[in-house]
Structure 1
Amino acid sequence: MWLHDIDPVALQLGPLQIHWYGLMYIIGFGAAWWLGVLRARKPGSDWSEQQVSDLIFWGAVGVIAGGRMGYVLFYHFDYFLQDPLWLFAVWEGGMSFHGGFLGVVMVLWLFARRHKKSFFALADFIAPLIPIGLGAGRLGNFIGGELWGRATDQTWGVIFPAAGDGLARHPSQLYQMLLEGVILFAALWWYSSKPRPAMAVSGLFVLLYGIFRIIVEFFREPDAHLGLVAFDWLSMGQLLSLPMLMLGSCLLWLAYRDKAQG
């Protein structure tokens, strides 16, 4: 067992505090830009470095705006009904992957229209760039001692003081970092290294993320104010991930059906 006592503040300059979680966002977006530039420089790419920079910038806007809206609407809708302006209280924290995902989808649709590119050409290009940011964000959650796991008697259990009960818990943030960050990145980078039919890479991203998120939610403590939302085992994270299983499977099926017919 290990007592979590990591300082979530990476650097303090007078009244200004720079948290590790915020730095993880910078790492994630920086890694996405760097990997995108590498892909844009490959022979036959129809991407310019400026287009990659623009896409990452607007993708960051979609992640932050969509992530905040998703957190408020999916997890704290009662707060929103009482005070709609709480939506903009970003300093209080709170981000949702599923909201950020929808925000990025909207950005891709708008970007595709502006640059006269196929939506799925954009989605397939950006999908392998995302997992490093996801993994970095989960590491930031662990450093910050938030979104901890369920109680466990395993030797690698971690006591999170913020939980307030002294119980050793699964470091589910690190499980998510491994699945959503390391493994998802390796799978998508390898899969996209060879030509694939349109929709296949983005379909694989959606499918694998849905699978990984559903698995890790069995080890993650459900939100205290929501608990388990159905069947005494289904968490909100799992409920929001179920449509991703269907969508990812559908995109892969369509991709290879169209390839076979072509």
Structure 2
Amino acid sequence: MIYFHDIDPIAISLGPIKVHWYGIMYLLGFTAAWWLGRKRIAAGRLPGVDANGFSDLLFYAMLGVVVGGRVGYMLFYATSEFLHNPLLLFKVWDGGMSFHGGLLGVLLAAWWWSRKHRLHLFDTLDFVAPLVPLGLGFGRIGNFIGAELWGKYTDGSWGVVFPSGLPAPLNGLDLTTLKAEFATGALNQYARHPSQLYEALLEGLVMFLVLWVVSAKPRHRYVIAGLFALMYGIFRFAVEFVRMPDNGVYLAFDWFTRGQLLSLPLVAFGLVLLALSRRAPVLQPVLPVAPEGAKA
């Protein structure tokens, strides 16, 4: 059954204070990462690191996601606007975050934290990778609620009519009029793939389940991070076929998008890491030592 998108992107409004669903999704993502990470720390999955050390890592990673995601979006998808007005970088309330930029930000943050704690970077990344997918999934749900990054037209009964995705002059009509038109079936031809939900399923739930199950036992270094890069690259590349290209522009062949271009290095990187893992050591869990005098 075709669905008419009518979700208020603002979850809570208290006078001038407005809390958007997208922000709540980010909060849920970081909360899930914190909870899962604490469980892995308690199980000794990152030897020598306690809960406080993990909290520092999560804080650096949060900064990496936000700063890297925003900078990446401006550089990858809004280059000309950014060069014309660099202050757009700080207008985060207008939207615009890049996964690939956020990933680079997290890599930099993890490198800095690992260097400080004298840990191998990929031991840190293997630890962090299973904590990320749920946040990606929540973020894509936020995209859906905000009616952004929608897909191409579809004849499927699961299509979604996004008012912001309607052509002129329909996109200039008020919501009440559009609902009346939708009730007659006149807008069914404009139903789109809910590509945000496809990505929430693949990048969020599927990746989380695979990485969490695989990482339940000690694995060779590079395996978990390699699987993360490989799966994300493949899933993102595939969904781009039914998702509208960023800024409506294809890079080549009338189907190759910027998102696919940025995903190919991730696929290659994941394959390289999995190849390297064959001769890499296995990081064994080390349970935290109870303080002297504590009861067993």
Please list, as runs of the form range in 1=range in 2, the aligned pairs for 1:71-150 lying within 5 A after superposition. Answer: 71-150=73-152
Structure number with the bigger relative contact order (C-alpha 8 A, sep ≥ 6) is 2
Partner of 1:30: 31
1:159 corresponds to: 161
Whole-angstrom distance in 2 between the partners of 1:202 and 1:45: 14
CA distance in 1, matches of 2:159, 2:248: 24
Percent identity (aligned): 53
Letter in 1 for 2:227: L
CA–CA separation in structure 2 for the residues paired with 1:62 and 1:43: 25
Cα displacement (A) at 1:231: 2.0
Q: 1:21: which partner in 2? A: 22
Cα offset, 1:79, TM superposition: 0.5
2:45–2:127 contact (8 Å) kept in structure 1: no
Structure 1 residues 208-237: Cα deviation after superposition (integer angstroms, max 9, x where no partner): 0000000111111112x3511112211111
Partner of 2:214: 191
Q: Give the Cα–Cα distance (whole angstroms) in 1 for the partners of residues 74 and 46 of structure 2.
A: 39
Post-superposition offset of 1:258: 3.7
Letter in 1 for 2:221: A
Q: What TM-score do you get using the length of structure 1 for normalisation?
A: 0.96
Gaps of 5+ in 2: 168-186, 283-296
Q: Within the alignment, does 1:239 sit opposite 2:261 as a pair?
A: yes
Structure 1 ranges of 4+ moved more than 4 A: none
User: How does the TM-score come out when normalised to structure 2?
Assistant: 0.85
Structure 2 partner of 1:6: 7
Tell me, yes or no, if structure 1 residue 248 matches structure 2 residue 249: no
Kindly indicate whether the alpha-carbon contact (under 8 Å) linking 2:9 and 2:146 is maintained by their aligned counterparts in 1: yes
> Which residue in 1 is equivalent to 2:171?
none
Deviation string, structure 1 residues 118-156 (Cα, Å, up to 9, x no partner): 101110000000000000000011111111010001000
Structure having the higher Rg:
2
Structure 1 Cα separation of the partners of residues 44 and 103 of structure 2: 30
Counterpart amino acid of 2:226? G
Match of 1:217 in 2: 240
Alignment partners' CA distance in 2, 1:43 and 1:52: 12
Match of 2:191 in 1: 168
How many residues align? The count is 259
Deviation of residue 43 (structure 1)?
4.7
Output the amino acid matched with 1:213. R
| Residue 177 of structure 1, CA deviation | 0.3
Q: Secondary structure at the match of 1:5?
A: coil
1:228 equivalent to 2:250? Answer yes
Partner Cα separation in structure 1 for residue 38 and residue 125 of structure 2:
15
1:69 paired residue number: 71
For 1:244 and 1:20, the matched residues in 2 are separated by 29
Is residue 74–residue 89 contact of structure 2 (8 Å, CA) maintained in 1?
Answer: yes
Q: Any idea what the Cα deviations from partners look like across 1:42-91, whole Å, max 9, x if unmatched?
A: 15652311111111111010000000001000000000111122222212
Partner amino acid for 2:243?
R
SS in 2 for 1:218: helix
What is the alpha-carbon distance in structure 2 between the residues aligned to residue 211 and residue 129 of structure 1? Answer: 19
Query: Are the structure 2 counterparts of residues 105 and 258 from structure 1 closer, same or farther at C-alpha, using a change threshold of 3 Å?
Result: same
Coordinate RMSD, CA, aligned: 1.3
Aligned partner of 2:229 among 203, 206, 210 = 206
Cα distance per residue 1:232-260 (max 9 Å; x no partner): 21111111000001000000001114469
